[in-house]
Structure 1
Amino acid sequence: MLNASRYLKIGAIVLLAVAVLAFPSVAPNPYILSAGVLVLYYAALSTSWNFVGGFTGYISLGHGALAGLGAYGTGLLVAKGGLPPFLALFAGAAAVAALAVPIGFAALRVRGASFVIVSIALVLILLLVFQSWASVTGGSRGLVVPRPFDLTRPEHHRVFYYLFAGLVTVALLAWWLIDRSRFGLGLKSIREDEDKAEALGTATFAYKLIVFVVSAGFTALAGGLYALWFGDLDPVFQFSILTGSYLVLMALLGGVRQLFGPVAGAIIVGVALEYFKVEYGDTPLHLVATGLLLALVVLFMPDGILPAIGDLLKRFDRTKRSSIREVSAAELREQRLAEAKGAAR
């Protein structure tokens, strides 16, 4: 029989799905709808990041670069290659996944802080390349990507909102399947103790490389979908270290070992970023708020919000069961006392 916490989880998932599907119908204006698209974009990126960060424990700040590659790959194939938009989307993602193989061979041979530095270097190198190669990428002028649909602005946002929601769903399903597979068990053994896992016969490097390529493919799909939605690519924005930092914050905030952890973090951080941009413009207050939020998470909820809520529910459930046992014991004592009095009489 399902316990209360299981019912709560299923109910929360159903409510989240209903809220996501209904949001375009209740959004008061096109800007709010576009903010919803952006939040789902962050959710797709953070879930893609969690294939590496959640399973192996490797903290990558370079996933923004993979999203930028996916965006520019899709944009260039549409704008200069003449491919149909969604064929270009999947072709660009496949190219990024293929490129992730040599990148992974180089980056995954180091661990800890060294891996973080290598991932930052990837972002900076690609930023310089795409800014300097103006004849192909447009350089600092940017790259304009033709819209795939001839729709009004609100309808354009609505269509891409559901496309991003579909991508997040597929990424979550893939993460869930890996989490319950033997392959996922090997990845989690790397996260807990990589040296011990390797000593026990796990092909740690192969496991890391495979999941890195899977993560790169999903990240590139999110970046390419963003290019088709937004239609204007700037290398400074696409290859920003801040993007990778946001992804890490979102995953840590929600819980890296949780299926819906990155999604919860993306909703909180994405909404907060949009609020600060609207209220305070281009001031750096959103960076201050992001730093404070990260500090609070590390100090008070190191495992994330969803695990903290789960622990609270378990504690409440234990208290409830304990109180029932205590009442039963009291009743039993009263019954025995009555029996003893009856025997004495």
Structure 2
Amino acid sequence: MYAAMATSWNLLGGFTGYVSLGHSAFFGLGAYGTGLLVTRLDVPWAVALPVSALLVTVFAVGVGVAAVRVRGASFVIVSIALVSMMNLVVQGWRSLTGGSTGLQVPSPFPGLHRGQTHMVFFYLFLVLLGLALLSWWYVSRSRFGAGLRAIREDEDKAESLGVPTGAYKVAAFALSALFVALAGGLYALWFGSLDPIFMFSILIGSYMVLMSLLGGVRHVYGPLLGALIVAPAGEYFLIALGETQVHLAATGVLLILVVLFMPEGILSRLTRGRGGPSIPEESAGQRLEGAAR
């Protein structure tokens, strides 16, 4: 699940350089959307999942139009504000969402025991991860990807050369939100109990960023590698340090260390000069010319 979400986040952060800590908003909305369609409207889970994700994607387009107008730290603040706002809405709308008590979603596989259910969802998340990886690889080889890389290198110059920077950023924002919402919907069906404090937690968004940075945002498998390291590390911190704010601080320290000493990630160092399924290493001028073409 975390590998799929980190790869999805990287569709925005890795290509454009826009760092969003608020992607947990789309995770939570995807989960609650799927849960509400199943519990309130009796929609089959196989229909509720994609419908919820598409609705979240439409919402992300609207948010993206406003959010991508700002850059740098301002964009980070806007993304955090989105999570906080969604958390307040879900907790306040008790008649629909259950408020702070959460929402109970029935299992889509009531005939399976717990272990079998875990395996089914493992493979469902694996399929989602495969789709996210395939999308990342396709974007990295497309004209759209070239435009996103141009935005990351020099957005003003890219726009002056004719790259539709606003439309490209919104498209990347929405595509990223789509896969994160699908992960949230699968989580709702798998876990069955939704807590708004967890579903709309900045920590989830921070995990996506940390996993992508640690593995390498320029490599298709970077977020996957980061997830394989950070997720077990987070569980270890939780067990070793207890359910206190200390384990959250440990995760924050890990993020700071990665940003300071390994900003390009593990795979970027290991595959430097060897090729592979990564964002092509070009000069800024080549990126801008390719995007303009």
| Common fold: TM-score over 0.5 | yes
Q: Is 1:92 aligned with 2:60?
A: no
**Per-residue deviation, 1:161:** 0.4
SS in 2 for 1:55: helix
Structure 1 residues 181-192: aligned runs within 5 Å? 181-192=142-153
User: Deviations for 1:272-321, whole angstroms, at most 9, x for unmatched residues?
Assistant: 1112223333023322321222222122211011112224979xxxxxxx
**Hey, what does 1:257 align to over in structure 2?**
218
Q: In the alignment, is residue 65 of structure 1 matched against residue 25 of structure 2? A: yes
Name 1:142's counterpart in structure 2: 102
Higher gyration radius (CA): 1
User: How far apart are the structure 2 equivalents of 1:42 and 1:262?
Assistant: 9
Partner of 2:286 in structure 1? none
Equivalent residue number for residue 227 of structure 1: 188
Q: d(CA) in 2 for partners of 1:89 and 1:53?
A: 25
Q: CA deviation at 1:243?
A: 1.1
Identity of matched residues, %: 62
Say yes or no: does 1:303 pair with 2:226.
no
Q: Compute the displacement of 1:91 (Å).
A: 0.5
Pick the aligned partner of 1:246 from 207, 219, 222: 207
Q: Which runs of 5+ in 1 are unaligned?
A: 1-40, 315-345
Alpha-carbon distance in structure 1 between the residues aligned to 2:222 and 2:256: 18
Of 46, 58, 78, 1:118 maps to: 78
1:312–1:200 Cα change, 3 Å: closer
Instruction: Summarize deviations over 1:199-245 as a string: whole Å, max 9, x none.
Output: 11100001111111111111100100000000000111111111111
Moved over 3 A (4+): 311-314
How far residue 44 of structure 1 moved from its aligned partner, in angstroms, is 1.1
Q: Which residue of 2 aligns with 1:50?
A: 10
Partner of 2:41, secondary structure, is coil
Q: What TM-score results when the alignment is normalised by the length of structure 2? A: 0.91
- Distance between the aligned counterparts of 1:213 and 1:292, measured in 2? 30
**Whole-angstrom distance in 2 between the partners of 1:280 and 1:291:** 14
| Residue 107 (structure 1) aligned to one of 67, 71, 74 | 67
Root-mean-square deviation (Å): 1.3
Distance in structure 2 (CA, Å) of the matches to 1:237 and 1:254: 25
Which amino acid in structure 2 is aligned with residue 155 of structure 1? Q
Please point out which of 271, 275, 281 is paired with 2:242.
281
Name the amino acid aligned to 2:105: V
**Number of residue pairs the alignment of both structures matches:** 274
SS of 2:271 mapped into structure 1: helix
When normalised by structure 1's length, the TM-score is: 0.77
Query: Within 2, Cα distance between the matches of 1:106 and 1:276?
Result: 37
Partner of 2:127: 166
1:74 paired residue number: 34
Flag the structure with higher helix content. 1
Distance in 2 (CA, whole Å) between partners of 1:308 and 1:290 is: 23
Residue 330 (structure 1) aligns with? none
Q: In structure 1, what is the Cα distance between the partners aligned to 2:179 and 2:272?
A: 31
1:99 maps to a residue whose letter is F
Structure 2, unmatched stretches of 5+, are 276-293
Check 1:312–1:182 CA distance in 2 against 1; reply closer, same or farther (3 A cut).
closer
Determine the structure 1 residue equivalent to 2:179.
Answer: 218
* C-alpha distance in structure 2 between counterparts of 1:273 and 1:246, whole Å: 9
Greater relative contact order (Cα < 8 A, sep 6+): 2
AA in 2 matched with 1:268: I
Question: What is the Cα deviation at residue 268 of structure 1?
Answer: 0.6
